[in-house]
Structure 1
Amino acid sequence: MRILLAEDQAMVRGALAALLSLETDYQIDQACDGDQAVAQLQQQQYDLLLTDIEMPGLTGIELAQWCQQHAPATKVVVLTTFGRAGYIKRAIDLGVGGFLLKDAPSDSLIQAINQVMQGKRVIDPELAISAMGEQDPLNDKERKALRLASDGKTTAEIAQTLFIAEGTVRNYLSEAIAKLHATNRIDAARIAKQKGWL
């Protein structure tokens, strides 16, 4: 079985790869961020993507979305420090096979991978219950614009990155600010991050 491990923290990535190599006979390839993961997924067929959520480039949720559209045979397990309801809800909606916290015991990770490969879904019950809470009010375009704004990008830079007009960016950000009852784009990004919607 071939696994792609996408994790931006080198020490965590190395430790997970070593653990999986020692405990299983899986072949483990590594990606240091979401963009590198997509490049590798385009060149190689993987049985499973094991991904962090918060990474430079594409997030783990965006990677799961990419797999759903371009590599549907690749199963996805999200491994994260953040058990935020918004993340879990979005992951479940995308058909992610597993959602585990990084502080879970190593044998439960391997067990979860095996169960996901058998077509089962593995989500910590408490996390699943919390995901049934609030609905994410943001659409994909608003989320992308807000995420770039939270990285300190100007309206012009966001427009250039997303290949849209500056007026459209302002509209997306205004909508996001209104939906989140925020005072400005920074406040909106903070609220969205806290809820796991960004």
Structure 2
Amino acid sequence: MIKVLVVEDMQVVRAGLVALLGGAFGIEVVGQAADAREALEVVGRASPDVALLDIDLPGMDGLALARELPVRVPACRTIMLTAMDRPGHVRRALDAGAAGYLLKSVSPKGLADAVRTVSAGGRVIEPRELADSLGSVTPLTAREAEALRLAASGADAREIAAELFLGLGTVRNRLSAAVGKLHARSLVDAIRIAERHGWI
């Protein structure tokens, strides 16, 4: 029996996933959570084989949770189940250690099959076009992306500098470099381009 943990903040979606997977042959839902904090409380006692995670969770997001779960339960593998359909999101999920990436439009059979594949040590990225487009590499460095991500959340240069323990000039240089690399007209335009590609 494959033990699954479902982490999804929308209650009706979570209930649907639990019901769907609970009725699939060879799969047992051993825990569910609405956010990362709750998931980390559940994972130790549930010891799931596979964790099904939404990326866009309140507080700690699904990518950070994907990094943390195997620390708590080394045998646990993760699948991201999301509405985010950009190659950059897939790349960030894989970099976070996810073994699967599915859109929420996946069929019930596709979801159950993905859980079985990932549990057996495989990797699943659906739809296929997302896997094929992974060659779309971000032009941003990790530091530029980090500064741009904070700017996207509404922080100004001074707040970003305080958050990252950097000088104001360094932050401005990173944001300026990001704008230039993305051939953007402004910082707002750079944020829009980076978000559209899933680079932040």
Bucket of the pairwise TM-score, normalised by the shorter protein: 0.7 to 0.9
Instruction: Normalising by structure 1, report the TM-score.
Output: 0.80
**From 129, 139, 148, the counterpart of 2:141:** 139
CA distance in 2, matches of 1:187, 1:127: 24
1:159 aligned counterpart, secondary structure: helix
1:83 aligned counterpart, secondary structure: coil
CA distance in 1, matches of 2:38, 2:183: 35
- Percent same amino acid at aligned positions? 39
CA distance in 2, matches of 1:160, 1:86: 27
Instruction: List alignment gaps of at least 5 residues for structure 1.
Output: none
2:4 aligned counterpart, secondary structure: strand
Bigger radius of gyration: 2
Corresponding position: 1:4 with 2:19 = no
Residue 73 (structure 1) aligns with: 75
Corresponding position: 1:179 with 2:181 = yes
Is contact 1:68-1:94 (8 Å) kept? no
1:10-49 equivalent positions in 2, closer than 5 A: 10-23=11-24, 24-32=27-35, 34=36, 36=37, 39-40=40-41, 45-49=47-51
Q: Give the residue type in structure 1 aligned to 2:193.
A: I
CA distance in 2, matches of 1:138, 1:59: 21
**From 42, 50, 53, the counterpart of 2:52:** 50
Instruction: Normalising by structure 2, report the TM-score.
Output: 0.80
- Alignment RMSD, CA only? 2.8
Task: Give structure 1 regions of 4+ aligned residues with deviation exceeding 6 angstroms.
Answer: none
1:24-173 equivalent positions in 2, closer than 5 A: 24-32=27-35, 34=36, 36=37, 39-40=40-41, 45-67=47-69, 72-124=74-126, 125-132=128-135, 134-173=136-175
Q: CA deviation at 1:191?
A: 0.6
Is contact 2:9-2:57 (8 Å) kept? yes
Is contact 1:76-1:96 (8 Å) kept? yes
Q: 1:20 to 1:95 in 2, by over 3 A?
A: same
Q: 1:46 to 1:174 in 2, by over 3 A?
A: farther
For residues 47-86 of structure 1, give each alpha carbon's deviation from its aligned partner in whole angstroms, at most 9, with x where no partner exists.
Answer: 3221122334343334334457776532111111122111
Instruction: List alignment gaps of at least 5 residues for structure 2.
Output: none
CA distance in 2, matches of 1:8, 1:128: 26
